[in-house]
Amino acid sequence: MIKKLRVDHRLLHGQVAFSWTSALNADCILIACDAVVSDELRKTTMKMAKPNGVKLVIKSISDSVKALNSGVTDKYKLFIVVESIADAATLIQNVDAIQALNLGGTKATDATRNISKAVNITSEEEQILKELVADGVDVTIQMVPEDTPVPVEKAL
């Protein structure tokens, strides 16, 4: 069962690994990120950051779609973390079981504008978010479980 899909450019770190995993009662974290699959240093770092007793799986976006649709992940209380809004949209568009998206953190760059404390988006990402909302996806901004989720429409 998919508990949550979250965008966080830092992927697996203390806040995600402990706060969210605990709040969701998740027993498996799926890092869906093409760049990490071939980066041994990042994989090792994430393995060290995962909470004890929680399974960590790192897959490409396409392999994540295949796994999520095949049923092999159904036995887990799954917390999915992606690096970008585009990756989240790909999962949502290809996995019927995902109907909600949590925005936790995206990098600030010269091409982005800030829409909340830690969420910075490009105009392309803004369009993606608007399309997701129009398609009925529940998109919220929420840094930590204790924060009140803010509908992305209010921030845009």
What is the set of active-site residues? 13
Long-range contacts, stretch 133-139, CB < 8 angstroms, 24+ apart: 136/99, 137/92, 137/99, 137/100, 137/101, 138/99, 138/100, 138/101, 139/100, 139/101, 139/103
- Type of residue found at 33: C
